[in-house]
Amino acid sequence: MVSKSDYNLLQSILDIVGFIIIAIGMIVQSIVRACLPKSYRKFKELSGQNVLITGGGGGLGRLLALRIANQGAKVMVWDVNEEGIQETLKQVKAQGGVIHGLKCDLSQSDDVYRVAKLTREQFGDIDILINNAGVLSGKYLLDTPDRLIKLTFDVNIIAHFWTVKAFLPAMVSKNNGHIITIASMAGHVGVSKLVDYCSSKYAAVGFDEALRMELEDQGVTGVKTTAVCPYFIQSTGMFGNVHSRFLSTLKLSDVADRIVEGIRREEEVVMIPSALRWTILLKILMPWPVVSMFMRGLVPDAAPEEPSNKLNNNMVKPISKEAVNVKND
């Protein structure tokens, strides 16, 4: 007669074997899908989709608005800078796109929920949410004012909670939607002078992964999530003067194109360039002195100037006067 402990052991062995077989199948499927020519890959159509882009008043946000509107989507941009919003609207409409814009201070949850309500009333439910807005202080930790540390977290990650809570319920009810988190490679490796920024981007990567896990756990298979992790991007107002050795900084237009491709392919993670995936593996395998030496050699200075809270690809004007004048502290 088989004892209960023997039965449990047998069940555990069968579970492990089953997991390994299924995992191997998924890995093979993933490799085959990655190796397929683009003409054979499945791409999601963006035409007719309602797309919200935070920080859409300039930089990467504006380029995403232009490209996504060009795919036939209806675009809504949020930004704290009204002039930036109007310029984005002007450029998108000039190419025949459909776009709307609303001013929103993402560092304030009340404003996020207020503008979200206006968005639903004027624009309808959001099908694709792109949390793109972000800020950077670019100072050594001990030189960074407390209010800028708080601002970095409020915009770079805390705002994601408010926007997702505002628009996810409708996605879940329809079992259809897509949430894109613009994170960073700084969400996987630490960089000097970016302690607050890296911390917020680590949180953004974790937010995306935990949200995806939660949706799968609840059986919400139609709502997808994507974490975008680019290297330093040129012409965003954040890392234009970064000292980067061995690896070139990224062109804004290339990053925008790759993000749109990642959205249409519903990729879980988009690393730009994709070769940086291997650095994550090396970080796990290598001892810390090797990791530190490599990163300090790759990025000798992430913020060679002392920016006045330079704003990301995403928010062209300061959230408030106090948020900008770092040098006055």
- pLDDT value for 257: 96
Of the pLDDT bands very low, low, confident and very high (cuts 50, 70, 90), residue 41 is low
What is the per-residue pLDDT for 313?
Answer: 40
Give residue 246's pLDDT: 74
Domain count, the chain: 1
> Both ends of the chain: CA-CA distance in Å?
77
Structure tokens at 73: 């989507």
User: What is the distance between the alpha carbons of residues 132 and 114, in angstroms, rounded to a whole number?
Assistant: 19
pLDDT tier for residue 7 given thresholds of 50, 70 and 90: low
Evaluate whether residue 177 is within a structural domain.
Answer: yes
Is pLDDT at 328 greater than 90 in this prediction?
no
Which strands make up the sheet holding 128-131, listed edge to edge?
Answer: 98-103, 74-79, 50-54, 128-131, 177-182, 223-230, 269-272
Pair of tokens at residue 254: 């290339």
Q: How confident is the model at residue 305 (pLDDT cuts 50, 70, 90)?
A: low
State whether the Cα torsion 294-300-306-309 is positive or negative. Answer: negative
Least confident span in 115-119, 212-216, 307-311: 307-311
Q: Whole-angstrom Cα distance, residue 154 to residue 156? A: 6
| Cα Rg of the chain, angstroms | 21
Please report whether residue 293 resides in a domain: yes
Is residue 2 in some structural domain? no
CA dist., res. 182 & res. 55, Å (int):
11
Is 255 domain-assigned?
yes
pLDDT in tens, 106-127: 999 999 999 999 999 999 999 9
Of 1-15, 130-144, 178-192, 290-304, the poorest mean pLDDT is in 1-15
* Closest by CA position to 116, among listed 161, 150, 176: 161
> Is the pLDDT score of 80 beyond 90?
yes
Domain of 223 in residue numbering reads as: 52-328
* DSSP secondary structure of 299-318: -SBS-SS--SSPBPTT--S-
pLDDT attached to residue 282? 82
DSSP 155-218: IIIIHHHHHHHHHHHHHHHHT-EEEEEE--GGGTS--TT-HHHHHHHHHHHHHHHHHHHHHHHT
Span 281-295, pLDDT tens digits: 888 888 989 888 888
pLDDT over 90 at 240, yes or no: no
| 110 found inside a domain | yes
CATH number of the domain to which 323 belongs: 3.40.50.720
In the block, residue with structure tokens 């928010």 = 315
Find the mean pLDDT for residues 139-146: 94
**Residue 310 pLDDT more than 60?**
no
Q: Cβ(59)–Cβ(252) under 8 Å?
A: yes
Instruction: Please tell me which of 242-246, 310-314, 315-319 the model is most confident about, judged by mean pLDDT.
Output: 242-246
Domain assignment of residue 3, yes or no: no
User: Token match 């900008």: residue?
Assistant: 324
Per-residue tokens: 144: 């960074």
pLDDT of residue 324: 33
Residue carrying structure tokens 């047998």? 10
Given a cut of 90, is residue 32 above it in pLDDT?
no
Q: Average pLDDT of the chain?
A: 86
Q: Is the CB of residue 224 less than 8 Å from the CB of residue 177?
A: yes
Mean pLDDT of 230-247: 74
Residue 306 has pLDDT above 90, yes or no: no
State residue 299's pLDDT score: 85
**In a domain? residue 40:** no
pLDDT, average across residues 202-220: 97
Question: Is the previous residue joined to 273 through a cis bond, with omega within 30 degrees of 0?
Answer: yes
pLDDT above 70 covers what percent of the chain?
86
Q: What is the spatial distance between Cα 321 and Cα 325, in angstroms, rounded to a whole number?
A: 7
DSSP 154: I
102 pLDDT more than 90:
yes
Task: State the Cα–Cα distance between residues 178 and 165, nearest whole angstrom.
Answer: 13
- Asked if 233 contacts 248 with a C-beta cutoff of 8 angstroms, the reply is no
Give the catalytic positions in this structure.
Answer: 197
If pLDDT is split at 50, 70 and 90, which confidence band does 158 have? very high
pLDDT at 302: 82
Residue 25 within a domain? no
Which residue would you say has higher pLDDT here, 257 or 298?
257
* Phi, psi at 7, each rounded to 5°: -65, -45
